[in-house]
Amino acid sequence: MNNQVKSITKKSDDISGWYNDVIEKAQLAEHGPVKGTIIFRPKGYALWEAIQKNLDIRIKDLGAQNAYFPLFIPYSYLQKEKAHVKGFSPELAVVTHGGGEKLKEPVVVRPTSETIMYEAYSRWIQSFRDLPLIINQWNNVVRWEKRPYYFLRTTEFLWQEGHSAHESNEDAQKMVENALKMYVDFYQSVLGIYGYAGKKSESEKFAGADSTLTYEMLMPDGKIVQGCTSHNLGQNFAKAFKVQYQDNKGQQQFVSQTSWGLSTRSIGALILTHGDDNGLVLPPQIAPTQVVIIPIVTKSSDHVSINRLARQAFEILEGNNIRVKLDDSDQSIGWKFNQYDLEGVPIRIEIGGREAQNQEVSIKLRSDKGRVITSILENVAEDVQNLLHEIQVIMFEKSKKFTLENTRQADNYDQFKEIMETSRGFIEAFWCEDPNCEAKIKEETKATTRCLPVNSIEANGECIYCKKSAKFRWLFGQSY
Amino acid sequence: MNNQVKSITKKSDDISGWYNDVIEKAQLAEHGPVKGTIIFRPKGYALWEAIQKNLDIRIKDLGAQNAYFPLFIPYSYLQKEKAHVKGFSPELAVVTHGGGEKLKEPVVVRPTSETIMYEAYSRWIQSFRDLPLIINQWNNVVRWEKRPYYFLRTTEFLWQEGHSAHESNEDAQKMVENALKMYVDFYQSVLGIYGYAGKKSESEKFAGADSTLTYEMLMPDGKIVQGCTSHNLGQNFAKAFKVQYQDNKGQQQFVSQTSWGLSTRSIGALILTHGDDNGLVLPPQIAPTQVVIIPIVTKSSDHVSINRLARQAFEILEGNNIRVKLDDSDQSIGWKFNQYDLEGVPIRIEIGGREAQNQEVSIKLRSDKGRVITSILENVAEDVQNLLHEIQVIMFEKSKKFTLENTRQADNYDQFKEIMETSRGFIEAFWCEDPNCEAKIKEETKATTRCLPVNSIEANGECIYCKKSAKFRWLFGQSY
């Protein structure tokens, strides 16, 4: 498995070449045989396991219970909600044969589970006492992808989808906002990625929703990744699937519903945001290995005391719940340095003859190559804890600074076009909210509305495209 | 969600009626709209989460890393191993359309992942240094099911599948034995189910394997559930997919491979083995809730001191890592007793006026209705821990006793047939290992060979069917 032969494309030269190289050389993923599918190799899947572990707790804190609904959905279910079937039909995978026979009704592989879940909700929900009902699934979904790209656009992807039903639209709106808050906090405090939370336009919202909230994150090449979505479905599906409850006055009412999800595309954003020419750079919170200890043993060095100190440091860190690995294998020191840089391990601890003599360790940071911290053994846990915390903060601040520096106001369309042709990034621009202007802007600049940021202030503006009256500056950008 | 209206069929009257009732009333699962699929409701999925949590640690202890391979496999991949494609073809779900177009090559929804994984292994494995390679997946698989039955036979099921590659067949054989040992220990010490570990016959082994190990468990109706399988694949797939390595002498060699899995059918065995007329009975090790505390409050009782004591007991137990729930909702006491019995919570703690006065609690066991244990508050954690341990042991011993009592030797075919027509269970009988005899026995008695138990002793017997020479007593039984 010698993957070190070919070096990585420079990130600054060609970001998509770099992205593919890093993913393949760090053994995160590979293309699957069916177009658009990917193999999550152990090092890539470990990132998803870390995301799941962290997010699952947060999802349960929202009051959700995990469940699992079938992969196969009758096509007739999708047809029940008009906007939904229209939105998803072009992306469906269809099973026509099962058990050696042609099926009477073709079934689709779930692109999302609203329809199959809400048919069940219509049976499970009878009274206001059954509300709210909040269920989450961790599963795989399929949306046929014509332009696949590792993690960011794949035919099959892994995600969680939360689905709730409430008595009132106010409750549903509170739910979508809480779900969005959860995602924003997860991205910022765990994955270390700054972004904008806001509302999607009518043409960009989920097929079947009244409104969609999103978290939009700027990548180093000036393009934007949608990090998650949280939909207020209103009563659209409730009416299609007759999801009704008896209120406390004995009246039949339709429930108000929400759905919200975060997928393995988050891994793509994580790689793009933080990686460098040497490979991945992982924020400590999500890194499967936070610290690697490498004994620096040469022919003349005191093997016994070096290895003893390395083992001691390992045990101290592990005892303090730090995800630490001791690599005393017979690979060369150079290979190890490159390998753990490639894998993005936040902290490397080097222990050689001098360190053994002084009973101290040398700490180096993946995210700041210039720094070396010396720590005596009795302080190593505390020092490492502090450094992990510090790295986490600095990585987020760097992402924030980059995003803010690349968020520009455009006051006329020429300016808008010039920005999109050069640096890209986010553009704040007045838009009249007419989908025709939005479509024209997309056609001419590839930029789409990303969102109307939360807490946007109403003003008297004019649409960047048609110059008609516009109330808000929307965020525009080129999407991945 | 009032599901208490209809009572449960008695287990002794009609075990499959009882099984369906318990699953639906305890809200573990429901049938999905596509035949043979099931919805894992939160209480059913919680069992799978508990199984995953426990087993995942054991799998990683075997040296496996988790990964995720695509759901879709080109049909041509399956065709590369002749026995494999023959075995799985009748059960496949086939996707013929994707993204609005007819696919050039139909793809199958994975029934198991040998072929797609080993195509990748052939690229990943180059040298003996890359071995052993041990990868596990938690995923969903599809095998079209014509006679679906909750958990035990479903078109889509959830499972883990481990796949390893080794230098030698000895290493592969060690791996399949270790995987089997892991499953046996899991079933016995966690799910509390006794059974027989052994080798499958040639006709019952996995399609594509050299040999298959299994754990076979007797259910109360005398029928048998196969709890897991562990396959020695020899070099069959290695040759089909050219999975080769350079050995330490520079020679190209084929790897030896294994695969092993445990699925959501384990939940079916769990329910059938331990449940009773009041619902589920869960072994403490796997119960999502191990203890429920119910304050017994009447109009005249001292609410404040009862609720204070209940809260104290809750905090003590929770602080001791016991999965405890305090139900002080306004549902009736009777409803709560029935509900937690139905859900199979191993221990119920009742706290009423007398208990509050004496600062003690009354402990009742789901698995032994006659017993009441009184515990003073300061002993409650230790007493509950001991009882949970005791319940776990007793449940397993009960399963073991039942299995041994229903394992009979048959020395002639009349005896064999009589047992299969009356009590069923396991039959130990000499068999010549000719598949024709096996097929005839199946046709005439519905009993199949379940396994040749490990450590079986060779003897001079004669086949129960053809009376020709036979070396071993095999275990026969009717399979679910």
3-state SS string for B13-80: CCHHHHHHHHHHHCCCEEECCCCCCEEECHHHHHHHHHHHHHHHHHHHHCCCEECECCCEEEHHHHHC
Tokens 């020191």, residue located: A333
Q: For chain A, give every residue range classified as CATH 3.40.50.800.
A: 291-386
Looking only at the bridges linking them, the beta strands covering A65-66 and A133-142 are parallel
**B252 has pLDDT over 90:** yes
Question: What would the pLDDT profile of B350-376 be if each residue is shown by its tens digit?
Answer: 999 999 999 999 999 999 988 999 999
SS3 A133: strand
SS3 A170: helix
Chain A residue with minimum CA distance to B122: A1
Q: Assign 3-state DSSP to chain B and report helix, strand, coil percentages, each to 5.
A: 40, 30, 30
User: May I ask the CATH architecture of the domain B15-274?
Assistant: 2-Layer Sandwich (3.30)
**What's the rounded mean pLDDT across residues B77-103?**
93
With a cut of 70, which residues of chain A have pLDDT below it? 1-6
Per-residue CA distances from B448 to B38, B371, B433, B442 (Å): 27, 41, 12, 5
Instruction: List the one residue out of A347, A343, A193 whose CA is nearest residue A270.
Output: A193
Question: A460: exposed, middle or buried (C-beta count within 10 Å: 0-12, 13-18, 19+)?
Answer: exposed
Q: For chain A, give every residue range classified as CATH 3.30.110.30.
A: 407-477
Beta partners for residue A244, in sequence order: A254
Contacts of residues A354-361 at CB distance under 8 Å and 24 or more positions apart, as own/partner, are: A355/A306, A355/A309, A356/A301, A356/A302, A356/A305, A356/A306, A356/A308, A356/A309, A357/A305, A359/A309, A361/A293, A361/A309, A361/A313
A457 touches chain B (CB under 8 A): no
**B2 has pLDDT over 60:** no
Q: For chain B, give every residue range classified as CATH 3.40.50.800.
A: 291-388
Q: Which residues contact A404 (CB under 8 A, 6 or more apart)?
A: A194
Mean predicted lDDT score pLDDT of chain A: 96
Instruction: List the one residue out of B409, B458, B448, B425 whose CA is nearest residue B194.
Output: B425
The reported pLDDT for the residue numbered B301 is 84
The reported pLDDT for the residue numbered A276 is 97
**B300 has pLDDT over 90:** no
SS3 A120: helix
Q: Of A144, A155, A158, which is closest to B68 when you measure between CB atoms? A: A158
Determine which helix (DSSP H) or strand (DSSP E) holds A311, and give its type and residue range.
helix A303-319
The reported pLDDT for the residue numbered B337 is 97
Question: Would you say the C-alpha torsion A419, A423, A424, A430 has a positive or negative sign?
Answer: negative
Class for the domain spanning A291-386: alpha beta
B48 touches chain A (CB under 8 A): yes
Residue pair B221/B141 in contact by the 8 Å Cβ criterion: no
The band of B3, judged by pLDDT with boundaries at 50, 70 and 90, is very low
Q: How far apart are the C-alpha atoms of A300 and A87, rounded to whole Å?
A: 68
Determine the residue type at B461.
G
Q: How far apart are the C-alpha atoms of A19 and A9, rounded to whole Å?
A: 8
Which of B31, B35, B45 would you mutate first to test chain A, the one with the most A CBs within 10 A? B45
SS3 B194: coil
Q: Which residues contact A216 (CB under 8 A, 6 or more apart)?
A: A195, A196, A198, A224, A225, A226, A227, A426, A450, A451, A475, A477
The band of B6, judged by pLDDT with boundaries at 50, 70 and 90, is low
The reported pLDDT for the residue numbered B10 is 95
Q: Of B45, B71, B95, which is closest to A66 when you measure between CB atoms? A: B45
Which tokens belong to A237?
Answer: 């599906």
**B1 has pLDDT over 50:** no
First CA to last CA distance, chain A:
31
The band of B299, judged by pLDDT with boundaries at 50, 70 and 90, is confident
Superfamily classification of domain B291-388: Anticodon-binding domain (3.40.50.800)
Tokens 């409750």, residue located: A171
CATH of domain A407-477: 3.30.110.30
Residue pair B200/B211 in contact by the 8 Å Cβ criterion: yes
Beta partners for residue A449, in sequence order: A476
ipTM for the complex? 0.96
**B476 has pLDDT over 90:** yes
Question: What would the pLDDT profile of B408-443 be if each residue is shown by its tens digit?
Answer: 999 999 999 999 999 999 999 999 999 999 999 999
* CB atoms inside a 10 Å sphere around CB A398: 15
A41 contact residues in B (CB cutoff 8 A): 67
Q: CB-hemisphere CA count at 13 Å for A284?
A: 25
* CB atoms inside a 10 Å sphere around CB B2: 8
Q: Of B38, B41, B90, which is closest to A99 when you measure between CB atoms? A: B90
Which of B53, B92, B94, B329 would you mutate first to test chain A, the one with the most A CBs within 10 A? B94
Which tokens belong to A200?
Answer: 């999607």
Any idea what the Cα angle at residue B228 is, between residues B227 and B231, rounded to 5°? 150
Tokens 């450094």, residue located: A387
Which tokens belong to B228?
Answer: 């897991």
Instruction: List the one residue out of A266, A196, A263, A199 whose CA is nearest residue A232.
Output: A199
Q: With an 8 Å Cβ cutoff, are A37 and B156 in contact?
A: no
**What are residue A182's phi and psi, to 5 degrees?**
-60, -45
A65 contact residues in B (CB cutoff 8 A): 42, 45-46
B124 contact residues in A (CB cutoff 8 A): 1
Q: With an 8 Å Cβ cutoff, are A38 and B72 in contact?
A: no
Per-residue CA distances from A441 to A218, A416, B429 (Å): 19, 10, 79
**What's the rounded mean pLDDT across residues B100-120?**
96
Q: CB-hemisphere CA count at 13 Å for B82?
A: 1
Instruction: List the one residue out of B153, B107, B160, B36 whose CA is nearest residue A71.
Output: B36
Residues 117-146 of B with CB under 8 A from A: 119-120, 124-127, 129-130, 135, 139-140, 142, 144-146
Residue pair B446/B476 in contact by the 8 Å Cβ criterion: no
Which tokens belong to A463?
Answer: 């649409």
Using the 8-state DSSP alphabet, how is residue B214 labeled? E
Q: Is the peptide bond before B148 cis (omega within 30 degrees of 0)?
A: no
Q: What percent of chain B has pLDDT over 70?
A: 99
Q: With an 8 Å Cβ cutoff, are A100 and B109 in contact?
A: no
Which tokens belong to A70?
Answer: 């079938």
**What's the rounded mean pLDDT across residues B164-188?**
98
The reported pLDDT for the residue numbered A2 is 44
Q: Which residues contact B111 (CB under 8 A, 6 or more apart)?
A: B88, B91, B92, B141, B142, B143
Tell me, which fold does domain B407-479 have in CATH?
Answer: Translation Initiation Factor IF3 (3.30.110)
Q: With an 8 Å Cβ cutoff, are A66 and B155 in contact?
A: no
Contacts of residues B301-305 at CB distance under 8 Å and 24 or more positions apart, as own/partner, are: B301/B352, B301/B353, B301/B356, B302/B353, B302/B356, B305/B356, B305/B357
Q: With an 8 Å Cβ cutoff, are A72 and B93 in contact?
A: yes
DSSP B233-269: EETHHHHHHT-EEE-TTS-EEE-EEEEEEEETHHHHH
* CB atoms inside a 10 Å sphere around CB B466: 15
Per-residue CA distances from B404 to A116, B196, B408 (Å): 44, 10, 8
Instruction: List the one residue out of A398, A126, A436, A118 whose CA is nearest residue A283.
Output: A398
Chain B residue with minimum CA distance to A38: B70
Q: How many contacts does A have with B, using Cβ atoms within 8 A?
A: 174
Looking only at the bridges linking them, the beta strands covering B324-326 and B291-295 are parallel
The reported pLDDT for the residue numbered A316 is 98
Q: How far apart are the C-alpha atoms of A147 and A145, rounded to whole Å?
A: 6
Q: How close, in Å, is residue B94 to chain A by CA atoms?
A: 5
Q: For chain B, give every residue range classified as CATH 3.30.930.10.
A: 15-274
Q: How far apart are the C-alpha atoms of A340 and A292, rounded to whole Å?
A: 8
B95 touches chain A (CB under 8 A): yes
The reported pLDDT for the residue numbered A6 is 59
Per-residue CA distances from A405 to A212, A225, A400, A427, A429 (Å): 26, 17, 8, 11, 16
Question: What would the pLDDT profile of A130-185 be if each residue is shown by its tens digit?
Answer: 999 999 999 999 999 999 999 999 999 999 999 999 999 999 999 999 999 999 99
**What are residue B140's phi and psi, to 5 degrees?**
-110, 140
B39 contact residues in A (CB cutoff 8 A): 67-70, 120
Mean predicted lDDT score pLDDT of chain B: 96
